[in-house]
Amino acid sequence: MEEVDTTQAEVTTSPPPAGGRWVRHPSPKEYVRIAVILAMVTAAEVAIYYIEAARDLLIPLLFLFAFIKFALVVLWFMHLRFDSRTYARFFVLGLAGAITLYIAVLLMFRTFAT
Amino acid sequence: MQEQAAIHVFESEHEATSTGLPNVKLAMWLFLASDVLLFGALITSYVVYRGRSVVGPYPNDVFDIPFTSVSSFVLLASSLTMVLALASVQRGDLPRMRLWLLATALLGLAFVGGQVYEFTTFYEEGLTLTTNVFGTTFYVLTGFHGTHVAIGILMLLSLFSLSFGGRITQRNSMTVEIVGLYWHFVDIVWIVIFTVVYLIPTGP
Which H or E run contains B113? helix B94-124
3-state secondary structure at position B13: coil
Q: Which residues of chain B have pLDDT under 50?
A: 1-4
The third-level CATH classification (topology) of the domain covering B24-199 is Four Helix Bundle (Hemerythrin (Met), subunit A) (1.20.120)
The Cβ-side half-sphere exposure at A77, using a 13 Å CA radius, reads 33
Query: Can you list the alpha helix ranges (DSSP code H) found in A14-84?
Result: 28-50, 58-72
Question: B-chain residues within 8 Å CB-CB of A16?
Answer: 10
Query: Which chain A residue has its CA at the smallest distance from B80's CA?
Result: A35
Q: What is the pLDDT of residue B4?
A: 47
Question: A-chain residues within 8 Å CB-CB of B191?
Answer: 66, 69-70, 73
Q: What is the pLDDT of residue A16?
A: 62
Model confidence over A10-34: pLDDT tens digits?
Answer: 445 566 666 666 677 888 999 999 9
Q: What is the pLDDT of residue A4?
A: 39
Domain boundaries, chain B: 24-199
Give strand ranges (E) for chain B. 6-12
Of the candidates B92, B145, B97, the one whose C-alpha atom is nearest the C-alpha of residue B118 is B145
A32:B11 CB<8 A: no
Cα–Cα distance, B162 to A77 (Å, whole number)? 23
Query: Can you list the alpha helix ranges (DSSP code H) found in B14-57?
Result: 23-48
Q: What DSSP string runs through B46-97?
A: HHHTTT--SSS--HHHH--HHHHHHHHHHHHHHHHHHHHHHHHHHTT-HHHH
Q: Is the pLDDT of residue A105 over 90?
A: no
Cα–Cα distance, A73 to A79 (Å, whole number)? 8
Query: Which chain B residue has its CA at the smallest distance from A81's CA?
Result: B2
Phi/psi-derived region of residue B92, left when phi > 0, alpha when psi is between -120 and 50, beta in every other case: left
- In this structure, the strands spanning B6-12 and A20-26 are antiparallel
Cα–Cα distance, B30 to B34 (Å, whole number)? 6
What average pLDDT does the segment A70-97 reach? 92
Residues B104 and B85: beta-carbon distance below 8 Å: yes
Q: What is the pLDDT of residue A3?
A: 36
Q: Is the pLDDT of residue A9 over 50?
A: no
Q: What is the pLDDT of residue A10?
A: 44
Q: Is the pLDDT of residue A70 over 60?
A: yes
B72:A42 CB<8 A: yes
Of the candidates A37, A50, A63, A54, the one whose C-alpha atom is nearest the C-alpha of residue B66 is A50
Cα–Cα distance, B135 to B143 (Å, whole number)? 11
- Let me know if A12 is exposed, middle or buried by CB neighbors in 10 A (0-12, 13-18, 19+): exposed
Model confidence over B33-92: pLDDT tens digits?
Answer: 999 999 999 999 999 888 888 888 989 899 999 999 999 999 999 999 999 999 999 888
- pLDDT tier at A109 (50, 70, 90 boundaries)? confident
> Nearest-CA distance from B99 to chain A in Å?
15
Q: Tell me B64's DSSP state.
A: -
Q: ∠B173-A82-B30 over CA atoms, to 5°?
A: 70
Amino acid A55 reads: R
Cα–Cα distance, A77 to A88 (Å, whole number)? 13
Cα–Cα distance, B107 to B113 (Å, whole number)? 10
Q: What is the ipTM of this complex?
A: 0.90
